[in-house]
Chain A
Amino acid sequence: MLNVIVFGLIALIVVATALAMLLTRKPIFSVLFLVLNFASVALLYLILGAPFIAFAQITVYAGAIMVLFLFVIMLLGAERAGFIEPLKGQRWIALILAVVFLVLVSILIMGNLLDLPSLHKPDVDFGAPVDIGVLLFENYTLPFLIISVILLVSTIGAVVLSKDMQPVKNVQVVHLDEVTTSGEEEE
């Protein structure tokens, strides 16, 4: 019973912060609310017996990704968007679809999954980093390597994208035997 109450509280925080992230006008607040959200979800992961994942969540999501967002917001100067929705019917359709979606999921859950038993309390070493590591390097080697390549590519991509590409002016063709002083180049 206590579990359910704890779960309920955490769930409440999750939903509340998510809503707050959506509704607030200033992007900086959105980021902070989202950080709170991630933290709560990490708590949920702990409940579910996934310690490694929980800490990875805090480190990667809340620690790295959100910080990136903060930097960008700082760079761009958060502007405010107007309240009026320019697209006709967008809000209504979206809300209706959201409700429909929830209804469908609840039908699904109540139809098939209510009779599932409650989750067992996880073993103390379930979800240990060691186990995950072993699994990762033994069974999922290829995806692991691919992930590393993806990360490399994204890094390079980010660098390339943010380079300022201005046209090259005043290019002087410099012959090696005429080099006296370094020619002036601009990137």
Chain B
Amino acid sequence: MNLSEVQTVSPLFNLVPLVVLFPVLGLLLNLIFGSRMKEKTIGILASAASGGAFVVSVILAFALSQHHEAVSVFMADWITIGELSLAWTFRVDTLSAVMMLTVSGVGTLIHIYAIGYMHDDVRHNGDPGRFRRFFVFFNLFIAAMLILVTADNYLMLFVGWEGVGLCSYLLIGFWYDKGKDGIGNAQAGKKAFIVNRIGDFGLLIALFIMFGAFGTLQFDAVFEQAPAAAGGVILAITLFMLLGVTGKSAQLPLYVWLPDAMAGPTPVSALIYAATMVTAGVYLVARSAALYMLVPAAQDVVMWVGALTAFFAATIAVGQFDIKKVLAYSTISQLGFMVAAVGMGAFVAGMFHLVTHAFFKALLFLSAGSVIQGVERGEHHTGHGEGHAELDPQDMRYMGGLQKQMPLTFRVYLVGALALSGIVPLAGFFSKDEILAAANEKSIFIFVLLALAAFLTAFYMGRQLLMVFFGKARTEAAAHATESPSVMTTPLVILAVLSVFGGALNLPGVHSLGHWLEHSIEQGLEVEFVWMVALISLALAFLALIISWTIYGRRSLGKPENSDPLQEKLGSLFIALNQKWWVDEIYEALIIKPIRYFSDEVLAKWFDQEVIDGSVNDIGGLAKTLARAVNHFENGYVRTYALSILMGAVLILGYLILK
């Protein structure tokens, strides 16, 4: 239904289309004029576009603080068929404002960082001309994500959903001619797109059911009608939506694309896989809170999926050697936390963690990028004598002792790691603790799972810190690494500050974020600060850090070829962790191989060639046979023709006479 309530309580609300239009303008300008502009100009233009969106978000948040109710701003009619009318309407309410601020704010910082990072990266990969392309895609992504969060109906949300999926594909495969065997990156992009498609399919089914049941896709209208609907309908909608969430937010079983997505440049990993795109699933569940609250069964499913993912991914992160892969699995794990939170009904806790996670995960990814480029610079410095392909600048075993070489990066990385581990008073502590408190109230099993995941989180972050920054440099490249330029380190510092003070958003007792979000979504589970839970989580985090120090910090790790010290203790379990429990291989064997076999043998060879081609050929053959049969009559003999004339005449005569 077309709800064009343009409540212009404050005319500032009408600025909301700009939040999408600025990035679009940026990308268009870069697309059309970029080849003539200098690199710096392109970067600044893109960052300004994203910054403009941020400024508009701030203005909207300010306007909302005066007028807390949601406002819909109608922009254009999209589909009008008979009674069906779907319009592009922006929704400005407290929940979308939170998302807008996070996306555009962190996004702008990453844009600025990317100016410096991509300057080096395109030269490292040998194609300076691709700089412009990167920023075009980056702006496109911001635009799509903002469409997603400002949508007032599920259809626009889906448009943004698909848009970010597309950008993810484009950006993962940015270096499409590089990677394993020359197509590794492109294949990673393909994998991301296809796995996401499965999730999108689930979301589409949910939308179809929703439209069939309610006749509308607009949020308010749907939530109004929802309680009256039959029970099974809401359950189906929410479960199918969950499928979309597992795809986009990388939960079990559709998380497999995210580790492969690390093939994209690091700013991409930071923006899309830390801060924004993957949180779209969490946002979707939070937005549909009214629906989920009606079916506790679906809520439980969401909760379990989130908790299991959190634990599972954390175990894998322990065994990874690539610096970005550790962070990737860490993201999956933290997303599990968020999904579990919104599944429990603690929507505020989930959103809180979403925001703080955006801060410190973006910080960690960007710092990792800084580390990688530092090592690359060090390698360049030492010359290519060691063989360029042998040294993987992302492998932690080849690092070490970077604390001395890259002090600023080290410090911000430390802040991020501690925040992620949940050390008080950094932001991660408060947000994670709120989730754990909610879990404690809800179910002891969930609490145990999440607590174990938190323990492992601290452990693998400690491991990472120790392997990368402490000890002695294990390769020449690491020994000669240099610090990154300020265009890269400045955003890092800003993010570090946010990671430190971000907890203030929703301090226990004050609950500023909670009150802010109250106007948009009803809180399902009231969470109070429980001292016991807080102490347990702190204790686990410290314990994990200490254990990691005993394993990795006490003795020197020696040469890169040495096996991981943990491997000696855990043996084959470590191999399983390192091989990510062979999930990709299992999928390949159980699902992909049969599908490929089916497509190739059954569909292509048998159905297409035999059945379809065969039937067409048979029709042709039939025509030939018929023709040959009729051909008999055209034998050129006059007498035959005469006979057929007589036959016709007798038949007509007979008909006339016998009538």
Contacts and interface: CB of A to CB of B under 8 A. Distances in A.
| In the complex, A touching B (Cβ < 8 A) | yes
Interface string A74-99: 00000000000001001001100100
Interface stretch (B171-179, B293-301, B434-442, B638-646): B638-646
B653 A104 contact: yes
B402 to A, nearest CB: 99
A107 interface: yes
Contact of B647 (A87, A93, A107): A93
A100 interface: yes
A97 B643 CA distance: 9
A29 interface: no
B531 interface: no
- Which bucket holds chain B's interface residue count? 10 to 19
Contacts of B647: 93, 97
Contacts, number: 29
Interface string A97-135: 100110010011001000000000000000000000000
Contact of A100 (B635, B637, B643, B650): B650
A90 B653 CA distance: 21
B654 A100 contact: yes
A104 to B, nearest CB: 5
B657 interface: yes
Interface string A18-57: 0000000000000000000000000000000000000000
Contact of A90 (B643, B657, B658): B643
Contacts of B657: 104, 107-108, 111
B654 A104 contact: yes
B373 to A, nearest CB: 92
Contacts of A111: 657
A90 B643 CA distance: 8
Contacts of A93: 643, 647
A108 B650 CA distance: 13
Interface in A150-171: none
A101 B650 contact: yes
A72 B533 CA distance: 127
B658 A107 contact: yes
Contacts of A107: 657-658
* Number of chain A interface residues as a range: 10 to 19
B653 A101 contact: yes
Interface in B603-650: 635, 637, 639-640, 643, 646-647, 650
Contact of A87 (B640, B646, B654): B640
A94 B653 contact: no
A108 B655 CA distance: 12
Contacts of A101: 646, 650, 653
A107 B643 CA distance: 22
B643 A94 contact: yes
A107 B650 CA distance: 13
A33 B653 CA distance: 30
A134 to B, nearest CB: 36
A111 B53 CA distance: 99
Nearest to B642: A94
Interface in B344-397: none
B650 A97 contact: yes
B649 to A, nearest CB: 8
A26 B654 CA distance: 36
Contacts of B640: 87, 90
A107 B655 CA distance: 12
Contacts of A87: 635, 637, 639-640
A37 to B, nearest CB: 21
B640 to A, nearest CB: 6
B63 to A, nearest CB: 96
Contacts of A108: 657
A87 B635 CA distance: 10
Contacts of B639: 87, 90
B646 to A, nearest CB: 6
Contacts of A90: 639-640, 643
Nearest to B640: A87
Nearest to B655: A104
B659 to A, nearest CB: 11
A49 to B, nearest CB: 29
Nearest to A101: B650
A153 B654 CA distance: 38
B643 A104 contact: no
A104 B646 CA distance: 13
A104 B650 contact: yes
B634 to A, nearest CB: 13
28 contacts: A87-B635, A87-B637, A87-B639, A87-B640, A90-B639, A90-B640, A90-B643, A93-B643, A93-B647, A94-B643, A94-B646, A97-B643, A97-B646, A97-B647, A97-B650, A100-B650, A100-B654, A101-B646, A101-B650, A104-B650, A104-B653, A104-B654, A104-B657, A104-B658, A107-B657, A107-B658, A108-B657, A111-B657
Interface of B: 635, 637, 639-640, 643, 646-647, 650, 653-654, 657-658
Given A90-B643, A107-B658, 14 more contacts: A87-B635, A87-B640, A90-B639, A93-B647, A94-B643, A94-B646, A97-B646, A97-B647, A100-B650, A101-B650, A101-B653, A104-B654, A104-B657, A104-B658
Interface of A: 87, 90, 93-94, 97, 100-101, 104, 107-108, 111
The 8 closest A-B pairs by CB, nearest first: A108-B657, A104-B657, A101-B650, A104-B654, A97-B650, A104-B653, A97-B646, A100-B650
